[in-house]
């Protein structure tokens, strides 16, 4: 320091900045990896766009050949998130392995496109398995000597004759192709092998360490399976020892074809968690048939994004990017408001056409009607609590092991009271505060280094019922004599 004169320095801000992260959706399922630049299997891959997804996993839309359904669930998720709702980020985990989930196709004639160009119009052909022969099958042509292989823009395999090669006439082909139908519930559930590598749902544990992002929404292939749903819920109750989120669950429309049968299915499969959002039936857009729970997840991300990632607003009564409700077999489902309310009262979200297209219907998590705690059964309230608790872990992490003195206490209290006051002034909270209470901080706990801060949050309840009273006022008859 100078002996004489004036000097200055910057001091750390005494009130720390408190932030909340954006919605992050994790999707676990199958992808057509033959089209990808890398074979990403059981690795969480972060994508902000469809082009990033396509590079990492490949992409095909085979709904025209598959009764409106996507064969690859990750392609359905990428289409839904990026093309329809324009939301990101999404983290994808592909469980399809080319060496396991495949089927063999016997020798068959190729389709002729030109004198030296042929095609096999099938998705997911594994190039390394391709064998090209003559029509009799007794001559095998050599790759790069007699022909080359390439995928066209649709994902079909083309065979191109090499000048001077031995191909004469129309060649035939045998090959292995991806078989996404071979994916099982066990592939989705996954586990940890002897080398410590995770697969399936266990990959959730790898996300934060890899990307510093907190997953707060989860949708998986086979979400309607009771075991997959149960383990998904367990993972989202607490993962990485710190974080939590909501799993999106579809009610199976193969077995549940009537709305009145949905509550019994919910009960029999024990789908009653406050961290589950259920959806029935499926949804359609044009000729495509898609999972409604996935749409509900992406819709809520758009609502939260428009509210600066603070999830105080319910996604119910917001427009879905669908034009109909249907079963998996394409049978259209028509629900009136009475039927929708029946599903909602039993903890299931759905859709309702009531002017302005198809809109999401339902404010409750799966714990309704069993739970009577408002913080658990309203989707928006539960979402606020989950996101706030996750942000507490992130924002206060640097304060762990700081001196437990009045400076620390005031810093935390002042920081969060500023946050809650700001959210209240924006209309995102009815009110909020944080207190450090003597009654909750015993001498024994303080001596053990345990400090308890009590947060009080008032989250707006959705205006589910707006009642109007219309009365005839006889006093207005006096206007006849004015």
What does the pLDDT look like over 117-164, one tens digit per residue?
999 999 999 999 999 999 999 999 999 999 999 999 999 999 999 999
Edge-to-edge strand ranges of the sheet holding 172-178 = 102-109, 172-178, 131-133
* DSSP-assigned states of every residue in 252-297: PTTT--SGGGHHHHHHHTT---TTEEEE-SEEEETTEEE-HHHHHH
Structure tokens at 1: 């320091």
Identify the burial level of 441 via C-beta atoms within 10 angstroms of its C-beta, where 0-12 means exposed, 13-18 middle and 19 or more buried. Answer: middle
Q: What is the pLDDT of residue 16?
A: 55
Cα→Cα distances 148→117, 120, 128, 162, 309, Å? 10, 13, 12, 7, 50
Residue 142 CA to its chain's centroid (Å): 45
Q: What is the pLDDT of residue 87?
A: 97
Q: Which residue has the tokens 């609502």?
A: 303
- Other beta carbons within 10 angstroms of residue 37's beta carbon come to 11
Q: What is the pLDDT of residue 101?
A: 98
* Buried-state track 89-107, b at ≥16 Cβ within 10 A, e below 16: bbbbbbbbbbeebbeebee
Q: What is the pLDDT of residue 22?
A: 81
**DSSP summary character for residue 426:** T
Quick one: angle between helices 292-306 and 379-395, nearest 10?
60
**DSSP summary character for residue 203:** G
Residue 200's nearest CA partner among 177, 214, 183 is: 183
> What is the rounded CA–CA span in Å between residue 77 and residue 67?
18
* DSSP-assigned states of every residue in 370-400: T---HHHHBHHHHHHHHHHHHHHHHHSGGGT
User: How would you write the pLDDT of the chain (482 residues) with one tens digit per residue?
Assistant: 455 656 555 544 445 555 556 899 999 999 999 999 899 999 999 999 999 999 999 999 999 999 999 999 999 999 999 999 999 999 999 999 999 999 999 999 999 999 999 999 999 999 999 999 999 999 999 999 999 999 999 999 999 999 999 999 999 999 999 999 999 999 999 999 999 999 999 999 999 999 999 999 999 999 999 999 999 999 999 999 999 999 999 999 999 999 999 999 999 999 999 999 999 999 999 999 999 999 999 999 999 999 999 999 999 999 999 999 999 999 999 999 999 999 999 999 999 998 789 999 999 999 999 999 999 999 999 999 999 999 999 999 999 999 999 999 999 999 999 999 999 999 999 999 999 999 999 999 999 999 999 999 999 999 999 999 999 999 999 999 98
Q: Which residue has the tokens 């903890």?
A: 347
- Other beta carbons within 10 angstroms of residue 9's beta carbon come to 5
> What is the rounded CA–CA span in Å between residue 178 and residue 157?
13
Q: What is the pLDDT of residue 20?
A: 56
Whole-model pTM? 0.93
> What is the rounded CA–CA span in Å between residue 29 and residue 97?
11
Q: What is the pLDDT of residue 17?
A: 52
Cβ neighbors of 406 (< 8 A, separation 6 or more) are: none
Cα→Cα distances 106→123, 131, 138, 155, Å? 16, 10, 14, 20
> What is the rounded CA–CA span in Å between residue 235 and residue 218?
10
Q: Are 154 and 120 in contact (CB under 8 A)?
A: no
Q: Which residue has the tokens 């006849």?
A: 480
> What is the rounded CA–CA span in Å between residue 247 and residue 237?
9
- Residue 185 sits at φ, ψ, to 5 deg, of -60, -35
């Amino acid at each position: 320091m100078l002996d004489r004169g004036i000097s200055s320095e910057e001091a750390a801000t005494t009130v720390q900045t408190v932030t909340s992260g954006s919605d992050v959706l994790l999707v676990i399922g199958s992808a057509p990896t033959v089209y990808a630049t890398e074979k990403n299997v059981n690795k969480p891959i972060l994508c902000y766009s469809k082009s990033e997804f396509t590079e990492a996993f490949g992409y095909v839309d085979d709904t025209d050949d598959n009764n409106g359904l996507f064969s690859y669930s990750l392609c359905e998720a990428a289409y839904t998130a990026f093309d329809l709702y324009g939301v990101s980020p999404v983290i994808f985990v592909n469980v399809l392995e080319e060496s396991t989930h495949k089927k063999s196709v016997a020798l068959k004639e190729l389709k002729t496109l030109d004198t030296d160009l042929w095609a096999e119009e099938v998705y997911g052909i594994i190039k390394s398995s391709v064998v090209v022969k003559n029509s009799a099958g007794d001559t095998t042509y050599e790759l790069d000597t007699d022909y080359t292989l390439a995928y066209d823009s649709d994902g079909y395999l083309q065979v191109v004759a090499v000048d001077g090669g031995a191909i004469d006439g129309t060649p035939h082909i045998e090959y292995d192709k991806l078989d996404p139908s071979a994916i099982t519930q066990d592939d989705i559930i996954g586990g940890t092998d002897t080398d410590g590598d995770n697969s399936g749902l266990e990959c959730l544990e790898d996300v934060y360490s890899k990307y510093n992002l907190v997953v707060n929404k989860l949708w998986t292939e086979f979400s309607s399976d009771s075991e997959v749903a149960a383990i998904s819920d367990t993972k989202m109750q607490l993962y990485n020892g710190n974080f939590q989120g909501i799993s999106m669950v579809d009610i199976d429309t193969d077995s549940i074809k009537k709305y009145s049968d949905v509550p019994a299915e919910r009960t029999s499969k024990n789908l009653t968690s406050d961290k589950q959002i259920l959806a029935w039936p499926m949804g359609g857009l044009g000729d495509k048939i898609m999972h409604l729970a996935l749409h509900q997840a992406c819709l809520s991300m758009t609502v939260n994004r428009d509210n600066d990632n603070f999830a105080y607003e319910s996604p119910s009564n917001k427009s879905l990017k669908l034009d109909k409700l249907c079963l998996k077999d394409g049978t259209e489902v028509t629900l009136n408001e009475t039927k929708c309310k029946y599903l909602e009262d039993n903890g299931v979200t759905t859709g309702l056409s009531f002017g302005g297209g198809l809109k999401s219907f339902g404010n409750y998590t799966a714990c309704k009607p069993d739970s009577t705690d408002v913080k658990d059964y309203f989707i928006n309230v539960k979402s606020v609590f989950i996101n706030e608790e996750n942000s507490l872990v992130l924002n206060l992490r640097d304060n762990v092991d700081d001196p437990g003195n009045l400076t620390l206490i005031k810093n935390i209290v002042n920081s969060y009271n500023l946050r809650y006051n700001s959210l209240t002034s924006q209309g995102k909270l009815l009110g909020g505060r944080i207190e450090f209470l003597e009654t909750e901080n015993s001498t024994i706990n303080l001596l053990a280094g345990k400090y308890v801060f009590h947060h009080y949050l008032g989250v707006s309840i959705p205006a589910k019922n707006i009642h109007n009273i219309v009365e005839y006022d006889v006093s207005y008859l006096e206007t006849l004599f004015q």
